[in-house]
A = this chain, B = another copy of it.
Amino acid sequence: MHAIGVDIGGTKIAAGVVDDEGRILAQTRRDTEPDDAASIDAAIADAYAELSAQHPVKAIGLAAAGFVAADRSGVLFAPNIAWRDYPLRDRVAALIDEKVDIVVENDANAAGWAEFRFGSARDVDDMLTLTIGTGLGGAVVSNGALVRGFAGVAAEVGHMRVVPGGHYCGCGHEGCWEQYASGSALVRDAQAAAVAFPDRAQRIVELAGGRADKIVGPYVTKAAEEGDELAIQLLAELGRWIGEGAASVAALLDPAMVVIGGGVAAAGDLLLEPARKGFGDQLSARGHRPEATIVIASMGNDAGIVGAADLARL
């Protein structure tokens, strides 16, 4: 059965028709206004109209960055969109004449689900996906089922505390994993290094046009690929935190696989090797148990669309 998946970002939506094998048959985009929730509803309905004209579907999955209600009907809270207890499902349904099932899913859950069903983790039953962009999101599959939690807000892995008294987090707490294992963490560490070790940071700052405050993750990755020592160290530090945090998750959930997706995954082995080492170094009972593999995600930027569509037709 075909379904439509919609990945709702801050300023645009991307929608696609997804078949039973996780392939995208057709795709479209709309610009939206993050402060205007109705503009998003309309864009979704409009994208549905366009796509369903080409491929009849029975279900729509909406992937949203935020806390999603346990009944998958809406969003409790979103950091970047004007949604507060917003009944997204019903608002979109009101704009669509046909009968179609609509469900709302957390975007990291959707992306992780795509990896589980069709991507890197398609052969395992127990999985952790980490989606590492600016922030750190996650998805947990246990025994073949997505772990949503009682309130629908499970897998907020970025807010596990990994350092008591550690870096401030935008959530109001200190030492959240996201502050050590995310693109933002990489950028801030790089900027801090530019202050503390100006000599060693020369190449990274140069790539940023000479301005430390303009450093972004891809500059660090580029410098590392050129062999820049500090850049390699910064990615290794990021990887170490990814792996060490994943070892804590593994103590709790014992996944067969940890999948790393999101923009940060572009660093490849420069990130993956330290992540594997950090994971192995911290894994409890190593040697007495089979060990999770750590791999890069394979579904790319469309993971959210594919996962949301697939979750909608379950």
A residues at B contact (CB < 8 Å):
67, 76-77, 124-126, 138, 140, 142-143, 145, 147-168, 170-176, 180, 188, 192-199, 244, 247-249, 251-256, 281-282, 284-290, 292
Q: How many Å from the CB of A104 to the closest CB on chain B?
A: 15
A151 and B188 form a contact (CB under 8 A): no
Given known A249-B252, A252-B249, contact A196–B173 (CB-CB < 8 A): yes
Closest beta carbon of chain B to A32's beta carbon, Å? 22
Known interface pairs A173-B196, A247-B161, A284-B173. Does A149 touch B254 (Cβ–Cβ under 8 Å)? yes
Instruction: Write the nearest CB–CB distance from A280 to chain B, whole angstroms.
Output: 8
Which residues on the B side are within 8 Å of A124 (C-beta)?
Answer: 150
In the bound complex, do residue B290 and residue A151 qualify as a contact, i.e. CB atoms below 8 Å apart? yes
Q: Which of B142, B167, B281 contacts A147 (CB 8 A)?
A: B142
A41 to B193, CA, bound (A): 33
Do the beta carbons of A176 and B284 come within 8 Å of each other? yes
Docked CA distance A161–B155 (Å) = 18
What CA separation (Å) do A97 and B306 show in the bound complex?
Answer: 53
Contact in complex: B150, A252 (CB < 8 Å): no
Q: How far is the CA of A145 from the CA of B141 in the complex (A)?
A: 12
Q: Which residues of B contact A152 (CB under 8 A)?
A: 254
Q: Are B159 and A285 in contact (CB under 8 A)?
A: yes
Distance between Cα atoms of A124 and B149 in the complex (Å)? 11
Q: A248 — nearest CB in chain B belongs to which residue?
A: B160
